[in-house]
Amino acid sequence: MKQTILRVDLTEKKYWLEPVPQELSMLFIAGRGLGAYYAFKEIPKGIDPLSPENSLMFFPGLLAATPAPGFSKWTVVTKSPLTGTYARSICGGRLGPAMAFLGLNGLVIKGSFQVPGYLFIHREAVEFLEARELWGESTFRTQELLKQRHSPKVSIATIGIAGEKQVLFSSIIHEKRAAARLGVGAVMGSKNLKAIVIDPKEGKPPKLYNKERFSILTKEHALSIKEHPRRIRLQELGTTFMTKQMHELGIFPVKNFQEGFLPGIEDISAEAFSKLKVKDYGCYGCTTRCGNVFKVREGPHSGVESEGPEYETIFAFGGEINNTDPGLIIYSDYLCDYFGIDTISMGVVVGFVMELFQRGIITADELDGLEAHWGKAQVVEALIDKVVKREGIGDLLAKGTRRASIEIGRGAEHYAMHVKGLELPGYEPRAAKAHGLGYAVSNIGGSHMYGYARQEISGLREPREIDRLADEGKGDIVAWNQIKKAVEETGILCNFADTNITQKLISDLYYEATGIPEFSDLDHLWDAGRRIVILERLFNLREGFTRKDDRLPERFSKEPLPNAGPSTGSYYKNYEVLLDEYYEAMGLDEEGRPKQEIIVNLKLGDLI
Amino acid sequence: MKIVVKLTDKFIFGNIFKEDWIELEIAKPTLREAIDSLIKYTNNKALSLFGLHRIFDSYLFILNGLKVLDKTEYEVPIFKDGDTLTIAPLISGG
């Protein structure tokens, strides 16, 4: 297997190709695996994430641009300005396959443009082009203008105004999809890099080791999910179905994680969104097509259309801020994509402000005159606008809840719902304790996608059954989920297109794609997954993160969850036990450092 | 024995419930019996169209809001009088 990295120096306006050593491909495979390796090797300890020394890297997965369905995701890897940790943010669409068509398994960008510019990458060269006229444009308009200039078939990753202003939770937008989390857009903005344009013209899909066998595997899989109810439902209405399910179980966070009951939840249910659907959307080669475009039909936001919102955005601009107007959710989703900010972080920032206002910790005077009552649409719209432009209170809130709460003081930290600075997604930790532990020990902060606990959400009994409210027996499950996810993200497999995709099928596909015998060994893949997670942890340890950072907001250990159906009264009674369980399962010592035998067994000794 | 059946999104069965819950009489305390009774009650074929495997591919069956039932528990006595069975479409994701 020959893999190639494209290196770009924005300061010097130079680029060159570099082969990935075969040993690295064996150890880290591709996608997020290579991302973890290059992040650890190339991002110096202690650098400012918004300085030219930071690397901004893009990786497609091993199976990008192959006929394997659901493997078209790509990842951005960098040091996060929001958390100071390792960052990986995943996105769908066509950019990853476009890179693969050009034979690129990674793009490593260093330095910074003197004036706003963009990269045009095609089969012949990398062009360093000026973007003065694009600076200040929305993510949607930027893509429109660049497609007019180059070709309708190019793939574009761009930042919006929020990235330009270095909002610490700004995203990178591709089509209408987002590499949303951890402020990857701010890193791009700090480099004066408005966009990356990739033209796959005259490129070729990756050569497969056994095309015939690969084709049989993908066709069998496609047939097995064609009539599968999960796939059909995802195509029909995406993850909107989860809202009422999570609410029923007391897992849907309400009012900045204060409780678990939202009156009028029906108004933002799948049934309500089904009346607003316009069309669906799919990423490159995907047979699931889970993207849904919804249009507001009435009220003040009538006529607004957005791809999504998915469950997370329904949480962020629904339960989190005590809102049941789907129009406001769709409009907020649209604004976040238009300006290029993460919907989860933005929604949680709004919820944080509303709780501070409720408790009298912050006043309207400090909020530029905004009376931040729960669910008030004008407040939501104003705060989004102020944050992306960094005007007034928006300049403080653009730093995220952790930094904002410290600067505000007066006990505000207690109401900042984040882990390591990354705002929490839409699963109440007290009602799904493995999920919560997963947030706490994730190497990117409070993310549900670093090791989604399906055991708690959909009753998965692999590796075993768990009780979501129990105060022990979670650590091994969290470790298992993280490793499994890391394996999948070498591909890079989508969380929604994974119906009937087993580890065995992944292994078979990897082998038939590359001919590397080790890839047909499930233990080899599992070791690679663990290696990736451990190396990401080593990155954070080098930055000074320790056991004290692997924890949830204190609310979840001190306040029993009120008004949350069957989860009412639950809280973390002995969090340290769970943390010890995780450390043991992942091969870490009591301070969260990898034990020496793990370093040796995973062949990481020479790297660190 | 009576149990309460709740649907998280009633429209997935074509709005067969007027409310989002019903009280259901079952002769045996098993999930199989509950589903059979639900089909009879609603005279709706949505559930019966699937075989056992497909039912669990399609829906989550949650006992008293806490325990997601597995296909191995399909014919095992699980219900007590007054229990709640929540039926949700299987999605899971982010």
**Any chain B CB within 8 A of the CB of A450?**
no
Q: How far apart are CA A94 and CA A87, in angstroms?
A: 21
**Any chain B CB within 8 A of the CB of A567?**
yes
Q: What is the CA radius of gyration of chain B?
A: 12
Taking contacts as CB-CB distances below 8 angstroms, the residues of chain A near B70 are 459, 461, 465
Contact A459 B60 (CB under 8 A): yes
Give the number of other Cβ atoms within 10 Å of residue A57's Cβ: 26
* DSSP string for A446-491: S-STTS--HHHHS---SS----TT-SSS-HHHHHHHHHHHHHHTTT
> Comparing A218-232, A516-530, A582-596, which segment has the lowest mean pLDDT?
A218-232
Average pLDDT over residues A308-337: 97
Q: Of A261, A283, A236, A68, whose CA–CA distance to B91 is shortest?
A: A236
- A177 contacts A92 by C-beta, under 8 angstroms: yes
**Any chain B CB within 8 A of the CB of A599?**
no
Contact B11 A274 (CB under 8 A): yes
Q: What is the 3-state secondary structure (H, E, C) of A556-569?
A: HHHCCCCCCHHHCC
pLDDT at A206: 95
Q: Is the pLDDT reported for residue A608 higher than 60?
A: yes
Contact A244 B9 (CB under 8 A): yes
**Any chain B CB within 8 A of the CB of A239?**
yes
Helix (H, G, I), strand (E, B) or coil at A15: strand
Chain B interface, best mutation among A314, A424, A458, A488, by max B CB count within 10 A: A458
pLDDT at A507: 98
pLDDT at B66: 94
**Tokens describing residue A377:** 């649409």
Taking contacts as CB-CB distances below 8 angstroms, the residues of chain B near A312 are 94
CA distance B56 to chain A (A): 10
What b/e readout covers A108-134, taking b as 16+ CB neighbours within 10 angstroms? Answer: bbbbbbeebbbbbbbeeebebeebeeb
Nearest to B9 among A229, A271, A311 (CB): A271
- A329 contacts A323 by C-beta, under 8 angstroms: yes
Predicted ipTM > 0.95: no
Each of the 94 residues of chain B gets a pLDDT tens digit; together they read 999 999 888 777 766 677 778 899 999 999 999 988 887 887 766 666 566 667 888 889 999 999 999 989 999 999 999 999 999 988 876 5
Contact A249 B65 (CB under 8 A): yes
- Which residues have a Cβ under 8 Å from the Cβ of A270 and sit 6 or more positions away? A237, A240, A241, A243, A244, B9, B11, B12, B89
pLDDT at B46: 62
* Distance set, CA A498 to CA A224, A225, A503 (Å): 12, 10, 10
Q: Please give the residue of chain B at the shortest CA–CA distance from A425.
A: B94
Q: Please give the residue of chain B at the shortest CA–CA distance from A315.
A: B94
Q: Please give the residue of chain B at the shortest CA–CA distance from A234.
A: B91
Taking contacts as CB-CB distances below 8 angstroms, the residues of chain B near A496 are 93-94
Average pLDDT over residues A88-93: 98
- A478 contacts A438 by C-beta, under 8 angstroms: yes
Q: How far apart are CA A288 and CA A286, in angstroms?
A: 6
- Which residues have a Cβ under 8 Å from the Cβ of A591 and sit 6 or more positions away? A546, A547
Q: Please give the residue of chain A at the shortest CA–CA distance from B87.
A: A245
Q: Is the pLDDT reported for residue A514 higher than 80?
A: yes
Nearest to A230 among B57, B66, B88 (CB): B57
* Distance set, CA A147 to CA A108, A152, A179, A200, B80 (Å): 23, 5, 20, 13, 62
Q: How far apart are CA A265 and CA B6, in angstroms?
A: 15
**Any chain A CB within 8 A of the CB of B8?**
yes
Q: Is the pLDDT higher at A151 or at B11?
A: A151
Q: What is the CA radius of gyration of chain A?
A: 22
Helix (H, G, I), strand (E, B) or coil at A202: coil
Query: Which residues of B, range 53-92, sit inside 8 Å of A by Cβ?
Result: 54, 57-58, 60, 62, 64-70, 86, 88-92
What is the enclosing helix (H) or strand (E) of B88?
strand B84-89
Q: Of B57, B52, B58, B54, whose CA–CA distance to B13 is shortest?
A: B58
Long-range interactions of A333-336: CB distance < 8 A, separation 24+: A333/A306, A333/A308, A333/A309, A334/A304, A334/A305, A334/A306, A335/A381, A335/A384, A335/A385, A336/A171, A336/A178, A336/A384
Chain B interface, best mutation among A240, A251, A271, A444, by max B CB count within 10 A: A271
**Tokens describing residue A213:** 């066998």
Find the angle CA(A189)-CA(A192)-CA(A194) to the nearest 5 degrees.
Answer: 75
- CA pseudo-torsion sign A253, A255, A259, A264: negative
Q: How far apart are CA A307 and CA B68, in angstroms?
A: 31
Q: How confident is the model at residue A555 (pLDDT cuts 50, 70, 90)?
A: very high
**Tokens describing residue A436:** 């919560």
**Tokens describing residue A30:** 């591709």
Query: Which residues of A, range 481-520, sit inside 8 Å of B by Cβ?
Result: 495-496
User: Per-residue pLDDT tens for A382-414?
Assistant: 999 999 999 999 999 999 999 999 999 999 999
CA distance A226 to chain B (A): 13
Q: Do the bridges between strand A117-121 and strand A193-198 make them parallel or antiparallel, or are there none, so unpaired?
A: parallel
Q: How far apart are CA A160 and CA A135, in angstroms?
A: 8
User: Per-residue pLDDT tens for A94-130?
Assistant: 999 999 999 999 999 999 999 999 999 999 999 999 9
> How many residues can be counted in chain A?
608
Give the number of other Cβ atoms within 10 Å of residue B1's Cβ: 15
Q: Of A15, A209, A207, A14, whose CA–CA distance to A106 is shortest?
A: A15
Q: What is the mean pLDDT of chain A?
A: 97
pLDDT at B94: 58
Q: Please give the residue of chain B at the shortest CA–CA distance from A450.
A: B94
pLDDT at B39: 79
Helix (H, G, I), strand (E, B) or coil at A50: coil
Q: Please give the residue of chain B at the shortest CA–CA distance from A245.
A: B8
- A156 contacts A146 by C-beta, under 8 angstroms: yes
Q: How confident is the model at residue A159 (pLDDT cuts 50, 70, 90)?
A: very high
pLDDT at B55: 83
User: Per-residue pLDDT tens for A243-299?
Assistant: 999 999 999 999 999 999 999 999 999 999 999 999 999 999 998 999 999 999 999
User: Structure pTM?
Assistant: 0.97
Nearest to A454 among B66, B69, B92 (CB): B92
Q: Of A296, A345, A287, whose CA–CA distance to A316 is shortest?
A: A345
**Tokens describing residue A413:** 């930290």
Taking contacts as CB-CB distances below 8 angstroms, the residues of chain A near B54 are 229
Contact B93 A565 (CB under 8 A): no
Contact B92 A452 (CB under 8 A): yes
**Residues of chain A above pLDDT 90, percent:** 97
pLDDT at A74: 98
| DSSP strands (E only) in A82-125 | 86-91, 106-110, 117-121
What b/e readout covers A293-324, taking b as 16+ CB neighbours within 10 angstroms? Answer: bbbbeeeebeebebbbbbbbbbbbbbbbbbbb
Contact A459 B64 (CB under 8 A): no
